[in-house]
Amino acid sequence: MTKEELHYMQRLADLYPTIGKAATEIINLQSIMNLPKGTEHFVSDLHGEFDAFSHVLRNGSGAVRKKIDDVFGHTLSNQDKRSLATLIYYPKKKLELVRKTESDLTNWYKITLYRLIEVCKTTASKYTRSKVRKALPSDYAYVIEELITEKTEVLDKEAYYDSIVNTIIDIGRAENFIIALAELIQRLVVDHLHVLGDIYDRGPGPHFIMDRLMNYHSLDIQWGNHDVVWMAAAAGHQACIATVLRNSLRYGNLDILEDGYGINMMPLAAFAMEAYKDDPCLLFAPKEGKSYTAIEEVLTRKMHKAVTVLQFKLEGQLIRRHPEFHMDDRLLLDKIDPDKGTVRLPDGKEYTLLDSDFPTIDWKDPYRLTEEEQDVMDRLSSAFLQCEKMQNHMTLLLDKGGLYTTYNGNLLFHGCVPLNDDGSFKVVEIFGKPLKGRALYDEMEMHVRKAFNSLSREEKKYSQDILWYIWAGPDSPLFGKDRMATFERYLIREKETHVEKKNAYYRHQESVEVAEMILKEFGLDPAEGHIINGHVPVHQSEGESPVKCGGKLIVIDGGFSRAYRKVTGIAGYTLIYNSYGLVLTAHEPFTSAEDAVKSERDIFSHRTTVWEARHRKHVEDTDTGKALKERIGELQILLDAYRKGIIKEKK
């Protein structure tokens, strides 16, 4: 044993100071290894659709209903199963309804408690007693543990359990106990949640999603480009603040910033009303969102145009100071002929603008902000930086997030791995050195963290500019297109100018060789691993399948966002990885929690097995299992050191 190994064993001995304690831990860890693998739940591209996300989280993409089927089989009618499932999803709302409709509440309580206990027993059976104990609600932990733990020493089990259940009802705690059991089942049915990016933009409730994730028991997040632009905005980056504001105004979701985060929009509103007082700004009407009064809509249009011009100016400044981004084709304000009302695009053609009234642009220096514009942006930067709730949400994204992760043999990321046309990894040289594949991802993630944590003001500013590049850059793995045609989509009628060409990655999604090359690049077994990503909506209505490359690659962006449902034909994909394999679920649109409770109607979902494991997966087959094997090996060395007298027991 080397000096370093001996030192490590001595530290391990502090945790396990005797042969008995070390041996007990080996037995405990070995028993965990033989438990079934915990269920993983994958969601992507939530885009602020909190209600649908909340429901999918509550029902575990069908995992709760499957547990009910496993427990009761044909002994319960489908109606009773639906009723029980609805109670587990929304216990408080369902109990309110039951109190109004049920004639014999005591009997209903008793039947319901027994059914929930049985579901809870099955759900908890794949975890250690210690892990279940940690998940129990503190108020009822002891009683629930008694009810869901098999009592071999109790001769009359029926009388024992009857006594507990009757006491719960007699002392008036039945409803509280039902709620506790329902929430415990929700908690246990999914062991770990993966969020594959784009929590923000388009929908009205990303802040509610973040609040929910703040309290989730086990998760990781792969940042999407929409998340990264919000992260940069929270760090005070003005081009990204303008982008966040424009997206919020475009989709009628300014309430997210005003009410959700408490950002004062008065400076922008006052500026817009003055700068564009004679301009109806008709091109800048919100696409969807809340209903507006006539006055509110006029103000929204003016604010929308004001911040769009601000974005074009600020992005132009950024591109000019970073020639290494190779984005000069996005410098378009200086290509406008204000007298003719036209713009010359990089293709050499001149196009007539749909709107050429830009009173705040100095055509001799079109990217310079006016004093009034700069004052607005400075105030907004200060508001974003000082918003405690937003900073807490961004801290969660940093703590739980990354550009990619490898988990139990699968590769998870939001967008793509940039490729050349021939399917090889594309070399990107925006950091002064050539980067590709995993190295590109690692370098970009390092800059994301520097944007928040670097002590160097210059380095922090540069890294914040990198966050903007990740949002919209042509070689960004989170964007994956040759350009973001925001200018053209707003101001040019010709649709051919709106096209954003996707990276070659999307043309090679059916290539087994490319998929295996990517899995190897990230250190995974190409024979067993899968690539799971979102970002680009799957057009199911046109016959496109989310399952690519014979199941080697799975795209789970199916349209959580209402804005995408016209092209996807559904309302989102989710993925479940349980001990038997990978199951893809396609969801129909969600109406409301109230409708789900009253009609006992779940989201109608189509479940498809994507990949079936050759044998049932156990903890020993997971990343956790690998770590446990290492710890068992270390403990066995410690045992040997105790027995040989190399290390003394601390009795």
Is the pLDDT at 147 greater than 90? The verdict is no
Residue 389, C-beta contacts closer than 8 angstroms, at least 6 positions apart: 207, 260, 261, 262
Q: What are the residue ranges spanned by the domains of the chain?
A: 3-34+622-643, 59-191, 225-391+434-491
Query: Which residues share a beta bridge with 352?
Result: 342
Q: How does pLDDT run across 331-360, given as a tens digit for each residue?
A: 999 999 999 999 999 999 999 999 999 999
Q: How does pLDDT run across 415-441, given as a tens digit for each residue?
A: 999 999 999 999 998 777 899 999 999
Q: How does pLDDT run across 69-97, given as a tens digit for each residue?
A: 999 999 999 999 999 999 999 999 999 99
Pair type for strands 192-195 and 219-222: parallel
What distances in angstroms separate CA 78 from CA 82, 120, 579, one per listed residue? 6, 19, 26
Listed residue (534, 449, 472) closest to 197, CA to CA: 534
Is the pLDDT at 155 greater than 60? The verdict is no
Assign 346 to helix, strand or coil. Answer: coil
| Amino acid at site 326 | H
The fraction of the chain above a pLDDT of 70, given in percent, is: 94
Residue 140, C-beta contacts closer than 8 angstroms, at least 6 positions apart: 176, 177, 180
The pLDDT of residue 540 = 60
For 91, half-sphere exposure in the C-beta direction (CA atoms, 13 angstrom radius) is 19
Give the distance, in angstroms, between the CA of residue 58 and the centroid of all CA atoms in the same chain: 15
The pLDDT of residue 558 = 59
- The residue with tokens 């399917």 is 423
What is the number of residues in the chain?
651
Indicate the pTM of the whole model.
Answer: 0.93
Burial class (CB in 10 A: 0-12, 13-18, 19+), 277: exposed
What DSSP element (H or E) covers 484?
none
Pair type for strands 573-578 and 40-43: antiparallel
Region 106-123 average pLDDT? 94
Angle, CA 226 vertex, CA 217 and CA 467 arms, to 5° = 100
- The residue with tokens 């034909």 is 569
Cβ-based neighbour number of residue 3 at 10 Å:
7
Q: How does pLDDT run across 562-593, given as a tens digit for each residue?
A: 665 555 444 668 899 999 999 988 777 677 77
CA–CA separation, 382 and 387 (whole Å): 9
Region 147-155 average pLDDT? 68
Query: Which residues share a beta bridge with 576?
Result: 41, 583
Structure tokens at 553: 């690659």
Residue 422, C-beta contacts closer than 8 angstroms, at least 6 positions apart: none
Listed residue (230, 138, 242, 246) closest to 184, CA to CA: 138
Q: How does pLDDT run across 589-607, given as a tens digit for each residue?
A: 677 778 778 777 666 567 7
Region for residue 252 given its phi and psi (left: phi exceeds 0; alpha: psi -120 to 50; beta: otherwise): left
Q: Answer whether 387's CB lies under 8 Å from 261's CB.
A: yes
